[in-house]
């Protein structure tokens, strides 16, 4: 039996790790040890509770007004102290957060093999997203096994000199998590949304939180939402990030508009229900870039560049930058042109088929000589949809 430490600290990591955690817990070949850094305290705890997951260790590293360097240092120190990784056969990290980088470094310092889930994503710009682009590139240089969601991610790793036999294309487990979520939908999670199912207006879900969006770019986004809200035939739902900087920009512009509903961040299952009800998704969130295509929802990406190029290429999402007039024009195009809307809604979902967890566990087993090689995920010609 192989002992694997899974290190995570943010809500997106928890969502994407949850199917893997469940599968490893049910597999007699593995003993998973769950280490939470607590990087996103409130949203992380509620998400873990929804999935019925309890960490074996909670580092509780967050303090008020910490810098990125301080957060990364505290996570690395917290993992390294106390022999928390002693006896582990591998450490699994996900994506590109401070928890990812610090967890990988802690494993490297103890010469424990690193398994990198959601490996190989690249925007090509070290400052966008920042610091995520650099984090994942650094982890890519020290990981022993790279679990890439797509063939494009695998190609990125190969170009960087990673041996092909250390890469497995699995698909993204966010699709697996979404399938589970849609089988367990509850309420909308906020009384202000309970009339959504009876509302005949077209629903736009809008989120923005990225560090590079703060300041004038976010004011452009908020202004675009204000302009779109002048159409009485739409309803905009804004799950607003808890970051005070985000709120200080969004609230003065959007508060008081009759067809803009502002709510606090929703529980995962409630957010799944909201996405199902939506007609258009407008977001700078990486999760939304993947969830939208899986649900057949046209997704407009509020960024200038993205590491998730696959849905741009298939047409299920579109980069619309953070320019107020451009955002408004792109939304109006989808609202006014049924053919354009249908083309995006029916485009191929390139991110997964609901079997990424199965491939992930099989790849880990093969890594330890406990199973055969894994057939890679390849999107088919037909759209793969997660049915509500």
Active-site residue, from 40, 209, 210, 322: 209
Asked whether residue 168 falls in the same domain as residue 198, the answer is no
Beta bridge partners of 207: 283
245: in domain: yes
Q: How far apart are CA 265 and CA 271, in angstroms?
A: 8
pLDDT at 64: 77
Residue 270 has pLDDT above 90, yes or no: yes
Quote the Cα angle for 78-80-85, to 5°: 115
Residue 42 has pLDDT above 60, yes or no: yes
Asked whether residue 340 falls in the same domain as residue 356, the answer is no
Asked whether residue 356 falls in the same domain as residue 335, the answer is no
35: in domain: yes
Query: Biggest alpha carbon distance in the chain?
Result: 61
pLDDT at 385: 60
Q: How far apart are CA 297 and CA 281, in angstroms?
A: 7
Residue 157 has pLDDT above 90, yes or no: yes
Quick check: is 118 catalytic?
Answer: yes
Number of independent structural domains in the chain: 2
pLDDT band for position 384 (cuts 50, 70, 90): low
376: in domain: no
Asked whether residue 261 falls in the same domain as residue 331, the answer is yes
Active-site residue, from 13, 50, 58, 96: 96
- As a whole-number percent, the residues of the chain with pLDDT over 70 amount to 98
* Domain boundaries, position 10: 2-172+352-367
Q: How large is the average pLDDT for residues 154-172? A: 98
Peptide bond into 131 cis (omega under 30): yes
Asked whether residue 157 falls in the same domain as residue 302, the answer is no
Residue 220 has pLDDT above 70, yes or no: yes
Using one digit for the tens of pLDDT, what is the confidence trace for 350-368?
999 999 999 999 999 999 9
CATH code where residue 33 lies: 3.40.50.2000
Active-site residue, from 13, 50, 58, 118: 118
Asked whether residue 22 falls in the same domain as residue 160, the answer is yes
pLDDT band for position 68 (cuts 50, 70, 90): confident
Dihedral angle over CA of 171, 172, 177, 182, nearest 10: -70
How buried is residue 349: exposed, middle or buried, by Cβ count under 10 Å (0-12/13-18/19+)? buried
Asked whether residue 331 falls in the same domain as residue 361, the answer is no
381: in domain: no
Report the run of H or E that residue 204 belongs to, with start and end. strand 202-207
61: in domain: yes
Q: How large is the average pLDDT for residues 100-110? A: 97
Quick check: is 241 catalytic?
Answer: yes
pLDDT band for position 133 (cuts 50, 70, 90): very high
Tokens of 315: 């047409």
Quick check: is 202 catalytic?
Answer: no
Asked whether residue 147 falls in the same domain as residue 194, the answer is no
Q: How large is the average pLDDT for residues 34-62? A: 91
Quick check: is 211 catalytic?
Answer: yes
Residue 383 has pLDDT above 60, yes or no: no
Residue 161 has pLDDT above 90, yes or no: yes
Asked whether residue 331 falls in the same domain as residue 200, the answer is yes
Whole-model pTM: value is 0.95
Where is average pLDDT lowest: 53-62, 158-167, 214-223? 53-62
Considering Cα of 276, then 242, then 304, then 174, what sign does the dihedral take?
negative
Residue 382 has pLDDT above 80, yes or no: no
Active-site residue, from 136, 241, 277, 303: 241
231: in domain: yes
Asked whether residue 59 falls in the same domain as residue 166, the answer is yes
Using one digit for the tens of pLDDT, what is the confidence trace for 278-326?
999 999 999 999 999 999 999 999 999 999 999 999 999 999 999 999 9
Asked whether residue 65 falls in the same domain as residue 165, the answer is yes
Q: Which residues, other chains included, contact 143 with Cβ-Cβ below 8 Å and sequence gap of 6+?
A: 104, 114, 115, 116, 119, 166
pLDDT at 87: 94
Quick check: is 284 catalytic?
Answer: no
Active-site residue, from 13, 50, 58, 132: 132
Tell the residue number behind the tokens 């199917």, with chain if given: 19
154: in domain: yes
Quick check: is 337 catalytic?
Answer: no
Asked whether residue 190 falls in the same domain as residue 124, the answer is no
54: in domain: yes
Tell the residue number behind the tokens 């817990």, with chain if given: 25
């Amino acid at each position: 039996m192989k002992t694997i430490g899974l290190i995570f600290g943010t809500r997106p990591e928890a969502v994407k790790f949850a199917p893997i955690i469940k599968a490893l817990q049910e597999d007699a070949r593995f003993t998973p040890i769950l280490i939470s850094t607590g990087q996103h305290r409130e949203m992380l705890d509620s998400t873990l509770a929804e999935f019925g997951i309890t960490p074996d260790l909670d580092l509780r590293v967050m303090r008020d007004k910490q810098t990125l360097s301080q957060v990364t240092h505290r996570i690395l120190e917290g993992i390294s102290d106390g022999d928390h990784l002693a006896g582990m056969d591998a450490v699994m990290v996900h994506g590109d957060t401070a928890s990812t980088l610090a967890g990988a470094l802690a494993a490297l310092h103890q010469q424990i093999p690193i398994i990198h889930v959601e490996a190989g994503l690249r925007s090509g710009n070290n400052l966008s997203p920042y610091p995520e682009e650099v984090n994942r590139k650094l982890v890519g240089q020290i990981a022993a096994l790279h679990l890439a969601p797509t063939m494009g991610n695998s190609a990125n790793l190969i170009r960087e000199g990673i041996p092909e036999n250390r890469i497995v294309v699995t698909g993204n487990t966010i699709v697996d998590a979404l399938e589970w979520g849609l089988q367990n939908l509850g309420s909308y999670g906020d009384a202000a949304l309970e009339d959504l199912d009876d509302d005949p207006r077209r629903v736009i879900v809008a989120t923005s939180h990225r560090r590079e969006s703060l300041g004038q770019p976010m004011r452009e986004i908020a202004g675009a939402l204000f302009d779109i809200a002048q159409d009485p035939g739409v309803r905009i739902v804004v799950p607003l990030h808890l970051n005070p900087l985000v709120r200080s920009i969004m609230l003065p512009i959007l508060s008081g508009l009759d067809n803009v509903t502002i709510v606090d961040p929703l529980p995962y299952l409630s957010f799944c229900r909201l996405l199902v009800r939506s007609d258009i998704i407008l977001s700078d969130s990486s999760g939304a870039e993947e969830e939208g295509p899986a649900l057949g929802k046209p997704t407009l990406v509020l960024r200038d560049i993205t590491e998730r190029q696959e849905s741009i290429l298939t047409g299920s999402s579109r980069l619309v930058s953070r320019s107020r007039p451009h955002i408004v024009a792109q939304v109006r195009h989808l609202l006014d042109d049924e053919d354009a809307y249908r083309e995006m809604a029916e485009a191929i979902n390139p991110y997964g088929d609901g079997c990424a967890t199965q491939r992930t566990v099989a790849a880990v087993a093969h890594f330890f000589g406990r199973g055969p090689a894994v057939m890679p995920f390849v999107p088919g010609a037909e759209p793969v949809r997660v049915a509500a």
